[in-house]
Structure 1
Amino acid sequence: MDSKTAGALLNEFYSLVDYTKPSFQISVFAIAFNPTAWNFVARNEYRNKTITKIFGGNARYGTYFLALLIFSFGILRDNLYHWALLDQPQKAILPREYATIVPAVLFVVGQLFVITSTWSLGITGTFLGDYFGILMDHRVEGFPFNVLRDPMYVGSTMCFAATALWFERPAGLLITLYVYIVYLIALKFEGPFTDMIYTKRAEAKAAKGQ
């Protein structure tokens, strides 16, 4: 493929993305809002125990409350994405013989990663319980963590891509790339902070001679 052909394809792709649609802009905002907000809330909880105090010092109830918020806002984000896709130009992306099977498989595998991650970590492990002081005894090493380092984020990204392919909206693929970048940035903040929490626990245990 020469540069002229590639340029023409890129121009055609971008012509099928309507950035002016409010639904597109709201979806992009919601995608960035979720991981950003929960990182801020979780760090505040670690330092100030704000949510724990609301629930009378019960960290587990606080974690469940945050889990409900994260889950609910996740559903809202997905609905806003769906709304944004239906508001965008439609064009076949895959050959007809693959137009159904590829997004279906991609979505099923993505959901498998998300669901099995949640099952392996549990509610408190999935929804930032370590920021509330509810730490896991051992690192989870079974499936899907023996396949991917961050299976929940990868699985979620796969579902975004699958939905874009299913509804044949090129704009959805652009949003999926944006989702992937947002998750990478979130992990740059979330990963080191979580590691710090567990390192401090290990140091505290070592100081006590346990």
Structure 2
Amino acid sequence: MGALSSIVNASTPSLYISLLSIAFNPIAWNIVARNEYRKKTITRALGSPYHGCYFLAILIFTFGLVRDHLYQCALLDQPRVPLLPKPFATLVPILIFVAGQVFVLTSTYALGITGTFLGDYFGILMDDRVEGFPFNVLRDPMYVGSTLCFAATALWYERPAGLLITLYVYIIYLIALRYEGPFTDMIYSNRSKVEKRE
């Protein structure tokens, strides 16, 4: 336990606020999106599924920025421990961050705004499954890319606690995918059944 306390300051509120914000985002968006699929609450309020999806995209993006800020604040309250020798202490985090951003940005480009931000729950379905880069490399490049950015930030600030938080992020994403994947598959399966009947 003593070794853990030398790399994790468990007494700082910023740590728990960061952990809560990390869990909040995928939980909240899954709840909101499923409600939208079943009850069309946002669509009815804004008058269009596209307006609803863009509104949700702005919320998701904004809360993602808040989450990232809270993560950075949590890191700054944690013990600093050199993790990599020079010049790798600078080079490795930069390379990991760039790789993460490449996965996030290229998957967003490939899916578009509605494909990225849960448009299928609004009834805005893609014609075909995206199979080009980065989806030909990873099944869930956006989540992997985001996780890489968390790890890169921890390495940049030399905070081992950040690597533990990164593991927590990855676990949260795996749990979210267990709910998102099958539900999205069901939405597209239902469309196929409707198309076959027509």
- Aligned pairs (5 A) from 1:129-144: 129-144=119-134
Aligned residue number for residue 4 of structure 1: none
- Where 1:96 maps in the other structure, the secondary structure is coil
Unpaired segments ≥5 residues, structure 2: none
- Where 1:134 maps in the other structure, the secondary structure is coil
Deviation at 1:72, TM superposition (A): 0.2
- Aligned pairs (5 A) from 1:9-28: 12-28=3-19
- Where 1:185 maps in the other structure, the secondary structure is helix
| CA–CA separation in structure 1 for the residues paired with 2:5 and 2:85 | 20
Of 143, 158, 172, the match for 1:153: 143
RMSD: 1.0
Aligned residue number for residue 99 of structure 2: 109
Of 50, 58, 74, the match for 1:60: 50
Asked which structure has the greater CA Rg, the reply is 1
| CA–CA separation in structure 2 for the residues paired with 1:191 and 1:23 | 31
Per mean C-alpha deviation after superposition, the further-off stretch among 11-20 and 121-130 is 11-20
Where do 4+ consecutive residues of structure 1 move more than 6 Å? none
Deviation at 1:15, TM superposition (A): 2.4
- Aligned pairs (5 A) from 1:168-179: 168-179=158-169
Aligned length: 198
Deviation at 1:11, TM superposition (A): 5.0
| CA–CA separation in structure 1 for the residues paired with 2:53 and 2:158 | 38
Aligned residue number for residue 88 of structure 2: 98
Percent identical pairs in the alignment equals 68
Unpaired segments ≥5 residues, structure 1: 1-9
Amino acid corresponding to residue 70 of structure 2 in structure 1: L
Structure 1 residue 188 corresponds to structure 2 residue 178 = yes
Deviation at 1:14, TM superposition (A): 4.3
| CA–CA separation in structure 2 for the residues paired with 1:39 and 1:180 | 16
Aligned residue number for residue 167 of structure 1: 157
Amino acid corresponding to residue 24 of structure 1 in structure 2: L
